[in-house]
Structure 1
């Protein structure tokens, strides 16, 4: 552990950084010690409090209180933004969706962190990148996520590696078993942005440049990605009811035997395994010409710029993202950890057989567009794709792609 003087120096330096661009922003915290709060989404597995209790027992003068926000990410963000815009000191540690880093940093709502205080070299590299904005570390990775393809081993002899193989297998199974072929999250919300992004990446494309300053969407590749989904709807191996699916609906459809294949996050593995047993298989998402690329998910921990106890907040984050705690995040919360070595642990693999595939998926995954205006970009993507999927027989994929690119460029120009 670094000396206390180094930690103090880092925090005093951070306190003077109001935003990612060092322009504007509000007052920063005092960098002191004392009780803190941890604001994050609702804990649906009841694993958090025992981890917090361990900290509280060892730090009676710096206890942490859990502030549970709504389960939906957009509602979490709305409450955090309202609090931070008011420069409230109520939140100290923030559990941020990985796509919020740029927005919160650019607005001066969180403070930059010293890289050397955290074992980032032992974390999965793509996960670390989600906490970096303009070459500065603004948060510490806490959990990761990547999309996986779930399939029925009693119906599928060899899991598909390409879209063509997925299509052929889904159509054959439909004819023999009278069940749906494939579904993801196709309702017009963040999940649709994720599913389209994965299809685009799996066709070799991207939406914006790494620094978020330029729209790099190739309409031809976007058309290929859209056609993959449109073809499935036209031919019926993607059921029309999947246009109303979010994560939960697609999970239930698969584990209840209404789908042969389903795209979902790792959290769906436990319930599906309990229901399907040895009939459950999991692999990487297929792509145009081989294994596809998932979209990175997960959560990072950041410190509010208005916290009065930033030093305690930083030490809490060091504790909460430690190897020992990350193991508990997996074993007690069933969330994908960020430490690389946990994915290679034989005992954990025996308990969570999907870990090797998940590691491959995370290492091959891509982050969503890095932008302080990410929410606007996501709305354009989801609404454009939803329009196409809602009328697959008449919507031209190339027209949708061109229109989407134009709208995205307008957002980037005005940011």
Structure 2
């Protein structure tokens, strides 16, 4: 599922073209001077190696600014942005066509988080463990869910470009101070949340308690991933999800809810709690009947499913050292600070969450509950055939939630599907 990556600002995605660096011409010798009379030769500056970065269009200045900053920091490499489509499916097909043919046209790739397992299994992308070790970088320095999304067979393949994550929005003007503190700490369960939703539903002009994504699409997998604690408590998590489905605190048509219905319900003041992505904060500011001053954010009990985009290295790149330098720059402090302050993207470099400029640029980042949510992200299943796996899981979970399939049958089908990946 491709998540729109404009997390705090309501931008319309358009294609942008990246500027490319140019080389100064090499100095030429005077034709009239004999070898014995020639002045010492002026060193000819080495031509920079071009690193091709295949990334989707960006309606903000962030990606271009990050690339320009990398180029300004370099003597050996010049990054060029190959501006891809913003259609996630079309971009995936374009990349696969190129990589399957063994092409080295792209050195660094921007990947949707759910593609990483597929690309790694197919041998399209390069493991980066040795590069990380040489650069004294550790997995723990980056967003946990993003890194887990690109870890396969005990090898690391990706760094975060910009993460996205599931979070819980709640009406702090309705919820008690005691319950708000419990939610923001993350020390609560889905049973606790459902009980709160039943208690507060109808208060403050609301119509329902808790809204989230439960329709038959990828959003259902993200929510099931969260309810089950990354599939560690499969039966318990699914039972909690069924309890929420049947609760009087959720809409009767909750099994048809996507992000759109969820956001609309919450920003119009119709619900007390909403599980959604960070973009909803911007929607509250620009479209909401309620105000952000009435809202707070909490981490989800089992962690929030990670979305967003990753950076990976083409296995067939002829410039792997340069590709790594670009990946490292974009994914660590300098690049992530630019992405956050210039584009409103969430930082995938954990230390950026303590940077004053980053915090000042994104008001949501200062919320304690949001910071905890960023620290507890979880990956969706890692699979060489993710689309097939997701479809199987969706079908079985939706049948269970709608009452047409029992829990044991559902859990067994999910476990079997997971084993086959």
State TM-score, norm by structure 1: 0.75
> What's the CA shift for 1:94?
0.6
Q: Say what the alpha-carbon RMSD is for the aligned residues.
A: 3.0
Equivalent residue number for residue 156 of structure 2? 137
Aligned to 1:163, which of 190, 207, 215?
190
Aligned to 1:68, which of 84, 87, 98?
84
Equivalent positions of 1:365-380 (< 5 A) are: 365-380=377-392
Please tell me whether residue 300 in structure 1 is matched to residue 300 in structure 2.
no
> What's the CA shift for 1:297?
3.2
Partners of 2:62 and 2:320 in 1: how far apart?
25
> What's the CA shift for 1:343?
1.9
Partners of 2:415 and 2:78 in 1: how far apart?
49
Partner SS for 2:197: helix
> What's the CA shift for 1:264?
1.7
Partners of 1:349 and 1:139 in 2: how far apart?
25
Where structure 2 has 5 or more consecutive residues not aligned to the other structure, the ranges are 1-46
Partners of 1:242 and 1:370 in 2: how far apart?
27
> What's the CA shift for 1:279?
0.8
Equivalent residue number for residue 363 of structure 2? 352
Partners of 1:245 and 1:321 in 2: how far apart?
34
Equivalent residue number for residue 401 of structure 1? 411
Please tell me whether residue 80 in structure 1 is matched to residue 92 in structure 2.
no
Equivalent residue number for residue 132 of structure 2? 115
1:182–1:259 Cα contact (<8 Å) kept: yes
Equivalent residue number for residue 22 of structure 2? none
Equivalent residue number for residue 29 of structure 1? none
Question: Which protein is bigger by CA-based radius of gyration?
Answer: 2
Going from structure 1 to structure 2, the CA distance change for 1:92 and 1:329 (only over 3 Å counts) comes to same
Going from structure 1 to structure 2, the CA distance change for 1:137 and 1:395 (only over 3 Å counts) comes to closer
Partners of 2:94 and 2:383 in 1: how far apart?
20
Equivalent residue number for residue 16 of structure 1? none
Going from structure 1 to structure 2, the CA distance change for 1:343 and 1:155 (only over 3 Å counts) comes to same
> What's the CA shift for 1:301?
1.0
Partners of 1:306 and 1:278 in 2: how far apart?
50
Aligned to 1:278, which of 288, 293, 296?
293
Equivalent residue number for residue 8 of structure 1? none
> What's the CA shift for 1:318?
2.4
> What's the CA shift for 1:185?
2.2
Equivalent positions of 1:3-402 (< 5 A) are: 34-56=49-71, 62-72=78-88, 74-113=89-128, 114-121=131-138, 123-124=141-142, 126=144, 127-157=146-176, 158-159=179-180, 160=183, 161-176=188-203, 177-201=205-229, 205-206=231-232, 221-274=233-286, 275=288, 276-285=291-300, 291-346=301-356, 348-349=358-359, 351-355=362-366, 356-389=368-401, 391-392=402-403, 394-402=404-412
> What's the CA shift for 1:329?
1.6
> What's the CA shift for 1:84?
1.5
Partners of 2:319 and 2:298 in 1: how far apart?
44
Partner SS for 1:35: strand
> What's the CA shift for 1:261?
1.1
Q: Encode CA deviations 1:142-193: one digit per residue, 9 max, x unaligned.
A: 3333321001122222334332332233223334435232222223222211
Partners of 1:373 and 1:396 in 2: how far apart?
26
Partners of 1:155 and 1:89 in 2: how far apart?
56
> What's the CA shift for 1:249?
4.0
> What's the CA shift for 1:387?
2.4
State TM-score, norm by structure 2: 0.74
> What's the CA shift for 1:98?
3.1
Partners of 2:303 and 2:59 in 1: how far apart?
28
